[in-house]
Amino acid sequence: MIIEVSARGAVYTPPNVERLTDRFSRVPVNERYNVAFGGSNVHMTNNGTNADLSLDKSSGSGLMSKNKYKYGFFSAAMKLPAGFTSGVVVAFYLSNADVFAHNHDEIDIELLGHERRKDWVLQTNIYGNGSVRTGREEKFYLWFDPTTSFHEYSILWNNHHTVFLVDNVPVREVIHNTAISSVYPSKPMTVYTTLWDGSEWATKGGKYPVDYKYAPFVVSLRDTEVEGCILNQKVGVVPSCTRSSLSSLDPVDGEEFAKLSNQQITGLNWTRGKHMFYSYCKDTARYKVLPPECNAK
């Protein structure tokens, strides 16, 4: 159903879905994260519960989780910079590139700034075992203005599937099957939230770089959720989980998280039908032979 028509085009009402974010505890930013870079541009607010990250001509900024996780549920509510934001990139993602430089895993939510009169773009991506040469990007237009209020961006990652969600509505599901198993993220990762200059590629392949006369660009962060199996550095690479029974709400093995519900499937079909405008699985100009998981769908 269309709820309004504005300069942004038709704005649709998303279907009702389960609120996964209500099943996990919200934690202060400073309890789970350290500053990753651009310390002078990271400002903790509300006694460390929230944070503002800024990008100016001197530096971007970023946070990284204090622990590494093997599977879990990771979420943050963010309000994005308004105005002319071409080339600006806000990223909420998991990566282990700091440990496995040439064989790393990554799960990305990237929000790409816009040129004049255009919307922010949501880009998702996934890598496993250093498979960076095969980009698995999918791009979406949002069904709301992400600069006027906070919206939740979430990643569910377990052995069954990886799910990207916006305001609890699934936008993408990567099922862990035989076709994708060799490049499915499987090693413990750090959680990052970053704000940086993507002038070389982010907006129409670098056509519209960051214009710093509109700086500083500020993204506000709150309602962070970081829950999963924590890598115990003293033990080695085997992660320890606080909850692991199939009857629990643990995102690692819990029955509630092994597959999408009917409501979530409806939400997934809605976002992909109305808001997705690019999928690597349909990019035959880029791939003469599509990646195997595209043919497995």
CA 41 to chain centre: 21
Computed from CA positions of residues 60, 112, 64, 25, in that sequence, does the dihedral angle turn out positive or negative?
A: positive
Single out the residue of 45, 43, 53 nearest to residue 28, CA to CA. Answer: 45
CA distance 144 to 120: 10
Task: Give 261's DSSP letter.
Answer: -
Q: What are the catalytic residues?
A: 106, 110
Tell me how far apart the terminal alpha carbons of the chain are, to the nearest angstrom.
28
CB burial readout 9-43, b (16+ within 10 A) else e: eeebebbebeebbeebeeebbbebbebbebeebbe
Query: Residue 38: left if φ>0, alpha if ψ -120 to 50, beta else—which one?
Result: left
DSSP conformation letters of 14-71:
PPP---GGGGS--B-HHHHEEEEE-GGGEEEEGGGTEEEEEE-SS--EEEEEEEEEEE
Query: What contacts 60, CB < 8 A, 6 or more positions away?
Result: 37, 38, 41, 53, 194, 195, 196, 197
